[in-house]
Amino acid sequence: MARAKTDISAMFGAAKTKTFIGLPIAKLGGKIDARAAVFGAPCASPYWPVGAYCKGGPKAIRAGIAGYSSNLHHIDFDLGGPLLGEKGARAVDCGDLGYDAKKPAANRARIRDATARVLDAGAVPIVLGGDDSVPIPMFQAYDGRGRYTILQIDAHIDWRDEVRGERWGLSSTMRRASEMGHIERIVQVGRRAIGSARHQEVKDADAWGVTFISARDVHAKGVAPVLAAIPPRSKVILSFDFDGLDPTIMPAVIGPAPGGLTYWQAVEIMHGIAKKARLAGAAFVEFVPERDVGGIGALTAARLVVNAIGLAARQR
């Protein structure tokens, strides 16, 4: 006799779905009638030794929350109500962009254009990565739409000008952002351990005016210093690299380091941004499904995406 399925989807009758938590499908080339629009970007500018190492990230994150696809109208206690909040708020899933690991410029153009389409529709882009360079073309799409603050959560500072000749890769995300005229402020949270940064990169970031708050500082002082660095009513793009979290809850990354942020610290930062300023977009990157343990990383990632969608849906 076959055993009954014993997961949450069996208990609540979740239907099979390819969209994030069962959200309606929308096409980037069509009408997007929503406050938040999710899309996957499996690859931007990979370094040649590792290739498109996060290409399965968007699919895995969707799978991590699929068991709750029948629960959209249930109370979500992180958000204090149903996911989409007030009656009439909508969020959609636009699927995954195509990519070619050998054509990074084309990948970046797709991400930039997809983000622009969502912004043109008046929705908040929620991007599922994909490697850590995915946010660069996403940031570019905001050019000409005002001035923005980037809040990055990451174990690394990403201020290399180039690595082995690649200027658009994962180690250069914040360096490229600093060169964009519409980015007026960068707040980087979670740095720790060792990465690609050398003395010069730290000097350059400090000279530009980055506000750094280490993971150690977050554990010692809480999230208040992070939120104090965000001006009231500013427009904030959240760039969330999953290795910013502690590997006990997020093993599915290429560069794990002990001492990362907890789930609740990350959630409190996100909610604090939405309360004080405006969430203008979010990119969740560096999810490596092959390194996950028991699906805990995928579930954690998906829960953070749920919070981003819920916060965007509640904004006017």
Return the CATH number at 69: 3.40.800.10
Question: Is the residue at 18 inside a domain?
Answer: no
Q: How far apart are CA 184 and CA 179, in angstroms?
A: 10
Question: Is the residue at 47 inside a domain?
Answer: yes
Question: Is the residue at 301 inside a domain?
Answer: yes
Supply the Cα-derived Rg of the chain in whole angstroms: 18
β-strand pairing of 124-129 with 211-213: unpaired
Joined tokens for residue 139? 């940031």
Question: Is the residue at 272 inside a domain?
Answer: yes
Question: Is the residue at 105 inside a domain?
Answer: yes
* Burial of residue 73 (number of CB atoms within 10 Å: 0-12, 13-18, 19+): exposed
Secondary structure element (H or E) that encloses residue 201, with its range? helix 199-208
β-strand pairing of 124-129 with 36-41: parallel
Domain coverage including residue 58: 33-314
Secondary structure element (H or E) that encloses residue 63, with its range? helix 57-65
**Domains: count for the chain:** 1
What's the DSSP call for residue 152?
E
Q: How far apart are CA 210 and CA 178, in angstroms?
A: 9
Question: Is the residue at 168 inside a domain?
Answer: yes
Closest by Cα among 309, 139, 315, 150 to 229: 150
Digit-by-digit pLDDT tens for the chain (316 residues) are 444 556 766 666 666 788 999 999 999 988 999 999 999 999 999 998 888 999 999 999 999 999 999 888 899 999 999 999 877 789 999 999 999 999 999 999 999 999 999 999 999 999 999 999 999 999 999 999 999 999 999 999 999 999 999 999 999 999 999 999 999 999 999 999 999 999 999 999 999 999 999 999 999 999 999 999 999 999 999 999 999 999 999 999 999 999 999 999 999 999 999 999 999 999 999 999 999 999 999 999 999 999 999 999 999 7
Classify the phi-psi angles of 40: left when phi > 0, otherwise alpha if psi is within -120 to 50, otherwise beta.
beta
Strand partners, 129: 41
Give the largest Cα separation in the chain, rounded.
67
The predicted model scores a pTM of 0.95
Question: Is the residue at 231 inside a domain?
Answer: yes
Closest by Cα among 245, 135, 238 to 190: 245
pLDDT at residue number 1: 44
The string of DSSP letters for 105-136 reads HHHHHHHHHHHHHHHHTTPEEEEEESSTTTHH
Q: In Å, how far are 156, 252, 256, 304 from 298, measured between CA atoms?
A: 21, 8, 15, 10
Question: Is the residue at 8 inside a domain?
Answer: no
